[in-house]
Amino acid sequence: MRDGTGMAWVVLVDDEVAGQLNVANILHGSVSSATIGYWIGKDFAGRNAIPIAVALATDYLFDSVGLHRVEIDIRPENTPSLRVVEKLGLRKEGLKERFIHIDGAWRDHLVFAITKEEREGSMLGRLSNTLEQ
């Protein structure tokens, strides 16, 4: 965080550590983007802690850091994480084949993104509207 290339936040639920959200590859200038990654403990899954954390982080990256684009890369079989980007209405961009080395193999990841212009209001407001439906 000191050099402005990444951020790490702990996700709390009822004052307990429930997970973590990381922002990596923060680039300014003509790229003006970052990548978000996250995890949540099994006991806290399904309580919207991660969608809220991603919404807050994205709003912060757009409004305070001044970025233009936020990306999230997810393994195709990770249904709970896919539900997060669905709730937030991120655009599916495609597939990065053999993108990250995990558990001894190069794993494919689906790419989701949003730009500041696509946001329309806040991400937290967008999430609230989705959860009310």
pLDDT mean over 93-121: 96
Residue 15 maps to a domain: yes
Q: If pLDDT is split at 50, 70 and 90, which confidence band does 88 have? A: very high
Distance from the Cα of residue 66 to its chain's centroid: 16
Residues β-bridged to residue 36: 23, 72
Structural domain of residue 21, as residue ranges? 7-132
Residue 2 maps to a domain: no
Which long-range contacts does 73-76 make (Cβ < 8 Å, 24+ apart)? Answer: 73/35, 73/37, 73/99, 73/100, 73/109, 73/110, 73/111, 73/112, 74/109, 74/110, 74/112, 75/102, 75/107, 75/108, 75/109, 75/110, 76/108, 76/109, 76/110
Residue 71 maps to a domain: yes
Residue 1 maps to a domain: no
Residue 120 maps to a domain: yes
**How does DSSP classify residue 19?**
E
Residue 24 maps to a domain: yes
Q: What is the pTM of this model?
A: 0.94
Residue 14 maps to a domain: yes
* pLDDT tops 90 at residue 133: no
The percentage of residues in the chain with a pLDDT greater than 90, rounded to a whole number, is 92
pLDDT at 20 (0 to 100): 98
CATH value at residue 78:
3.40.630.30
Residue 117 maps to a domain: yes
Q: How many domains does the chain have?
A: 1
